[in-house]
Structure 1
Amino acid sequence: MSASLQALQSSLDTELALVQRFIDILKAEAEALEQPDHSEALNSSTRDKNACIEQLLEAGRSRDDALRDLDLDTGRAGLDEAAAAYPFLQDSCVRLFELSQQASQLNAANGAMISTYLKHTQQALHALQPLVGNPGLYDASGRPGQAKGQRKAITAG
């Protein structure tokens, strides 16, 4: 086996392990989202996801470099070409596509759950604003916020 093929197989193995790790992190995040006090678990999940994403990006670059060394396209098209040209890579390529799809679906589901929480929080804040006269409420960045549609009076002098 050529060095380029070995590099491609090695990068696929690394990428498979990282995508599986990402899936495990997403599953832990989904469990944390179902718990009443989940802030620390979500902070940890975010840190882990960000680190894993950086590693996935690096593994993807390594894979694409190996594909280019074999005079193949990069990305999915290149993996399809590699699987067709080198049948021993087929299982790894198919597994990577499957795991990537699973990770995408889990990430979308978690994102939808987070979006729902955010929407409910925004609705609660909106309902409270008339009751408290708006000071003391904060926006998504943690700064004191202004109710939508309200303007501060500007005076000259």
Structure 2
Amino acid sequence: MSLTRLLETQTSRLEALSRLLSQEQELLLAGQVEGRVLEQVAGDKQALLESLEATEKSRLSVQRRLGYAADAEGSRQAAVDAGCLEAWQKLLELAQQTAQQNQRNGRLISVRSQHNRQMLDYLQSIVEARPYTAKGRPRGASGQLNASA
């Protein structure tokens, strides 16, 4: 596959990943998260990331086979010589934007997770503070069923 075609494929997959990240962000910002939908988005993201990795390996292989170094300068020079520098630059910009989207979503997940942990801790403290069990029996000091009951 040509370098130009590989760059086009990578760009297409990054665009798809960006759309998935936008969908994920909408789900995370919703008042009530749809777990199944979020799980599906996560699976789709993983599949896209794996295909992007495979395409990147192919691109680097072509680049090396053409005699270019496997670094940023080698990638830029290969793109210049193949007449696809604009596609390479577009790919780099899109990769940076997508990485930023992913970081934002990671922060949203972290905040939501922290909120859920706090809510669970609060609910647990309420349960432990109740002097009686659901059956009306007194609890001991530790919140356990009193042995004398």
TM-score, normalised via structure 1 length: 0.75
Q: Summarize the alignment of residues 15-34 of structure 1 with structure 2, pairs less than 5 Å apart.
A: 15-34=10-29
CA distance in 1, matches of 2:73, 2:124: 53
How far apart are 1:128 and its partner, in Å? 2.4
2:141 corresponds to: none
Amino acid in the other structure paired with 1:49: K
Name the residue aligned to 1:108: 103
1:70 corresponds in structure 2 to 66
Q: Which letter does structure 2 place at the counterpart of 1:43?
A: E
Distance 1:21 1:126 in 2: 38
Alignment RMSD (CA, Å): 1.8
SS of alignment partner, residue 71 of structure 1: coil
Q: How does 1:3-152 map to 2 (within 5 A)?
A: 7-35=2-30, 36-84=32-80, 86=81, 88-133=83-128
- CA–CA separation in structure 2 for the residues paired with 1:13 and 1:75: 19
In the alignment, the residues of structure 2 paired with residue 57 and residue 108 of structure 1 have an alpha-carbon distance, to the nearest angstrom, of 19
Unaligned residue ranges in structure 1 (runs of 5+): 1-5, 134-157
How many Å separate the matches in 1 of 2:23 and 2:50? 19
Gaps of 5+ in 2: 129-149
CA contact (8 A) 2:20 2:41 kept: yes
Contact 2:4 2:82 in 1 (8 A): no
* Per-residue CA distance 1:108-147 (angstroms, 9 max, x = gap): 11111010000111111222223223xxxxxxxxxxxxxx
Report the alpha carbon displacement of residue 33 of structure 1 after superposing the two structures with TM.
1.3
Question: Whole-Å Cα distance in 1 between the matches of residues 125 and 51 of structure 2?
Answer: 47
How far apart are 1:75 and its partner, in Å? 4.7
Query: So what's the TM-score if we normalise by structure 2?
Result: 0.78
Partner residue, 1:151? none
CA drift at 1:100:
0.2
Matched residues, percent identical? Answer: 29
Instruction: Report the secondary structure of 1:56's partner residue.
Output: helix
Runs of 4+ that moved beyond 6 A: none
Larger Rg: 2
